[in-house]
Amino acid sequence: MTMTFDKWDTSEVKISDLGLARYISLDSKLFPHTFGRKAKKRFDKGNINIVERLVNKIMRSGQGKRKLSGKYIRGRGSCGKKLQAMEIVEKAFEIIEAKTNENPLQVLVKAIENAAPREDVTRVKKGGIVYSQAVDVAPLTRVDESLKNIAISGFAASFNKKLDAPTALAEELILASKEDNKSFSVKRRDEVERIAKASR
């Protein structure tokens, strides 16, 4: 049986949120790298191994246009450097295993489930009037948002600090898997759902 990074078995990982089960792919791959084979077809990213999707999010350039804690955070200098991003994730998984004695893939799945927002806000225009409307979030978007916030938390916690990226990512995954309010991604989920609730 092929194990992720030749260390962790995906067969024992359980997904408790059935709405996300179809979009959290746990296909066994020694190295989570498909070389962009599933990048062109619509909705095909739902079939990409979830570890590779996390690696891809770590390669992004931080928050983008918006500021995070009053400053622009431009990632870990790993935009397009997939091997470097994979190394960050692998080291983070090793830290998770040492701290929790659990399969880090199970911790990742639990963190994604806990950090995925169920409601969001969209802008609706009617007769020249623009107002906010609460909408349900699609499962694929829920997984995307969750992974994005987990990756951004890793940037924020290790940006201009002594903490290294793998440790910051590992701590965020552990906190999110426990649905701890110290977790940045869980706080973001709560904030999005609170704004949506006010816009119903």
What is the torsion angle, in degrees rounded to the nearest 10, for the CA atoms of residue 187, residue 103, residue 171 and residue 74?
A: -80
Tell me the C-alpha distance between 156 and 128, whole Å. Answer: 39
Which residues lie below 8 Å from residue 33, measured CB to CB, with a gap of 6+? 52, 55, 82, 86
- Sketch the domain layout of the chain as residue ranges: 18-198
The CATH H-level (homologous superfamily) assignment of domain 18-198 is Ribosomal protein S7/S5 (1.10.455.10)
Question: CA-CA distance, 24 to 112, in Å (whole number)?
Answer: 9
- CA-to-CA distance for 141 and 163, rounded, in angstroms? 30
Residues of the chain with pLDDT under 50: 1
Contact 165, 76 (CB under 8 A): yes
End-to-end Cα separation, the chain, in angstroms? 48
- CA 25/CA 49 separation, integer angstroms: 5
pLDDT score at 66: 60
- Chain segment 110-167, per-residue pLDDT in tens: 999 999 998 888 888 888 888 888 888 888 889 988 998 888 887 777 766 778 888 8
